[in-house]
């Protein structure tokens, strides 16, 4: 394959052009899963489950939520979220408070200990990834910067 005016395509472009959508999906899925698994190894607190960490992250991003709202964000059933929250409350990582407009509901929020744990967790994983990124060429880092935007769009779909 070649560019216009007879210029050769870079090897990575040739490989990408030759792959079907299904093949690319498979390669991409595997790479993203492996990177996610490797980043999970850098967690500062391995006593929490991935579901508990996800719930804490959602509360950190969105602020206080009802258990139902949190379950909707996490795409799980409310009874499952209730179990997750019970565990987090037992660890002192969430607080429950009455809903300001509906006395039948409660809202959950992060405790200072949870905020500190999330910050430490992100710091460790970001530091590991930054070290690995320094090993790449400038062109590879530019490619990853563009890919990060695209992956973000795929994740929001």
The residue length of the chain stands at 157
pLDDT per position as a tens digit, 40-50: 888 877 789 98
Fold exhibited by the domain 47-157: Arc Repressor Mutant, subunit A (1.10.10)
How would you class 73 by CB atoms within 10 Å of its CB: exposed for 0-12, middle for 13-18, buried for 19 or more?
Answer: middle
Beta carbons within 8 Å of 131's beta carbon, 6+ residues apart: none
What mean pLDDT value characterizes the chain?
89
Residue 82 token pair: 């209730």
∠ Cα 141 147 151 (to 5°): 140
d(CA 39, CA 69): 27
| Residue 13 clears pLDDT 90, i.e. is over it | no
DSSP bridge pairs for 95: 109
Model pTM score: 0.72
DSSP bridge pairs for 109: 95
pLDDT per position as a tens digit, 76-116: 999 999 999 999 999 999 999 999 999 899 999 999 999 99
Residue 62 token pair: 């969105």
Beta carbons within 8 Å of 85's beta carbon, 6+ residues apart: 55, 67, 70, 94, 108
Residue 143 token pair: 């490619």
d(CA 28, CA 36): 12
Beta carbons within 8 Å of 24's beta carbon, 6+ residues apart: 16
E strand or H helix that includes residue 147: helix 138-156
d(CA 145, CA 83): 37
pLDDT band at 14 (very low <50, low <70, confident <90, very high): low
Domain(s) labelled CATH 1.10.10.10 in the chain stretch across: 47-157
């Amino acid at each position: 394959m070649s560019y216009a005016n007879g210029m050769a395509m870079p090897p990575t472009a040739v490989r990408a052009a030759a792959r079907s959508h299904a093949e690319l999906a498979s390669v991409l899925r595997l790479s993203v899963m492996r990177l996610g698994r490797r980043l999970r190894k850098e967690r500062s607190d391995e006593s929490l489950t991935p579901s508990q960490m996800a719930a804490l992250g959602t509360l950190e991003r969105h602020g206080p939520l009802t258990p139902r709202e949190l379950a909707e964000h996490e795409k799980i059933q409310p009874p499952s979220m209730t179990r997750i929250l019970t565990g987090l409350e037992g660890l002192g990582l969430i607080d429950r408070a009455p809903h300001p407009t509906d006395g039948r509901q409660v809202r959950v929020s992060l405790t200072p200990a949870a905020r500190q744990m999330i910050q430490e967790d992100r710091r460790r994983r970001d530091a590991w990834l930054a070290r690995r990124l320094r090993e790449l060429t400038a062109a590879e880092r530019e490619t990853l910067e563009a890919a990060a935007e695209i992956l973000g769009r795929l994740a929001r779909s």
